[in-house]
């Protein structure tokens, strides 16, 4: 009888677990986590690229993207870079170098973003020491941008900070940033990577 009761209890627990999985009360992802997805940069005219071919210094060069969107790489000649990502350009150079070098290792690094000077800037406004428009740099975060603006003023309401980002079609979406937690507690959960065109606004607190 006891074994029968145990079997019944086990079956019930498995049934409840299955129902919980199927019914699902899992919370939808928070909107602000979407801000962590940084759009991949596409190379444009006048951007400066560093091409590095490991163990082949003669093939490693720093080149600008010409008005026709191309760059010139030693040994293989012209390569289309405009409109592509650094990874795509790296893959093409590697593929073409394989005719000359065994297993070439190629890195393409953007060292100057000149093609969309204003489109590729990050702006910090509101209750900061120096409202600022700064060039986007790979790896830049909300904290980097705020510190570049001199930090917040004594009148700021840092936990009501908003990150505004343009999406497809020109629509703008805002994401909440708990800036006080970042500055005072080192809580980096909201220290989102920024992307070109972002606007960070730190409001003043109500008196």
Between the alpha carbon of residue 122 and those of residues 42, 46, 113, the distances in Å are 17, 20, 13
Q: How is residue 32 written in tokens?
A: 């602000």
Residue 11 reports pLDDT greater than 60: no
Residue 79's pLDDT is: 95
**Between residues 80 and 8, the one the model is more confident about:** 80
Q: Rounded mean pLDDT of the chain?
A: 82
Between the alpha carbon of residue 128 and those of residues 105, 131, 143, 165, 204, the distances in Å are 44, 6, 12, 19, 9
Residues in the chain: 207
Residue 100 near residue 39 (C-beta atoms within 8 A): no
Give Cβ neighbours of residue 96 (< 8 Å, ≥ 6 apart). 76, 79
The H or E element containing residue 5 is helix 2-23
Name the pLDDT band for 117 (thresholds 50, 70, 90). confident
Name the pLDDT band for 24 (thresholds 50, 70, 90). very low
Residue 27's pLDDT is: 39
Among 120, 117, 69, residue whose Cα is nearest residue 92:
69
Percent of the residues in the chain that have a pLDDT greater than 70, as a whole number: 80
Q: How is residue 195 written in tokens?
A: 């992307």
Domains along the chain with CATH numbers: 48-112 (3.30.1950.10), 121-202 (3.10.560.10)
Q: How much is the average pLDDT of 76-92? A: 94
Residue 150 reports pLDDT greater than 50: yes
- Global pTM value: 0.52
Q: How much is the average pLDDT of 58-85? A: 93
Residue 28 reports pLDDT greater than 70: no
Exposure b/e, 18-47, CB count within 10 A at least 16 = b: eeeeeeeeeeeeeebeebeebeebebbbbb
Q: How is residue 165 written in tokens?
A: 């980002």
C-alpha neighbours within 13 Å on the C-beta side of residue 101: 19
Give Cβ neighbours of residue 124 (< 8 Å, ≥ 6 apart). 131, 132, 134, 145, 146, 148, 149, 199, 200, 201, 202
Residue 192's pLDDT is: 93
Residue 39's pLDDT is: 56
């Amino acid at each position: 009888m006891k074994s029968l009761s145990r079997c019944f209890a086990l079956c019930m627990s498995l049934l409840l677990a299955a129902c919980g999985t199927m019914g699902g009360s899992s919370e939808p992802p928070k909107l602000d986590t979407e801000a962590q997805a940084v759009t991949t940069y596409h190379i444009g005219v006048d951007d400066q690229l560093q091409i590095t071919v490991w163990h082949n210094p003669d093939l490693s060069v720093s080149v600008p993207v010409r008005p026709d969107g191309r760059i010139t790489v030693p040994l293989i000649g012209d390569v289309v870079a405009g409109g592509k990502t650094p990874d795509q350009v790296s893959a093409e150079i590697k593929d073409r170098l394989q005719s000359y070098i065994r297993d070439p290792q190629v890195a393409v690094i953007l060292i100057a973003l000149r093609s969309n000077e204003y489109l590729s800037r990050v702006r910090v406004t509101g209750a900061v020491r120096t409202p600022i428009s700064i060039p986007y740099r790979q790896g830049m975060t909300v904290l980097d941008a705020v510190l570049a603006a001199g930090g917040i003023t004594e009148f700021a309401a840092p936990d009501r900070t908003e990150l505004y980002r343009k999406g497809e079609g020109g629509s703008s979406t805002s994401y909440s940033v708990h800036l006080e937690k970042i500055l005072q507690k080192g809580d980096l959960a909201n220290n989102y990577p920024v992307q070109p065109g972002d606007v960070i606004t730190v409001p003043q607190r109500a008196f």
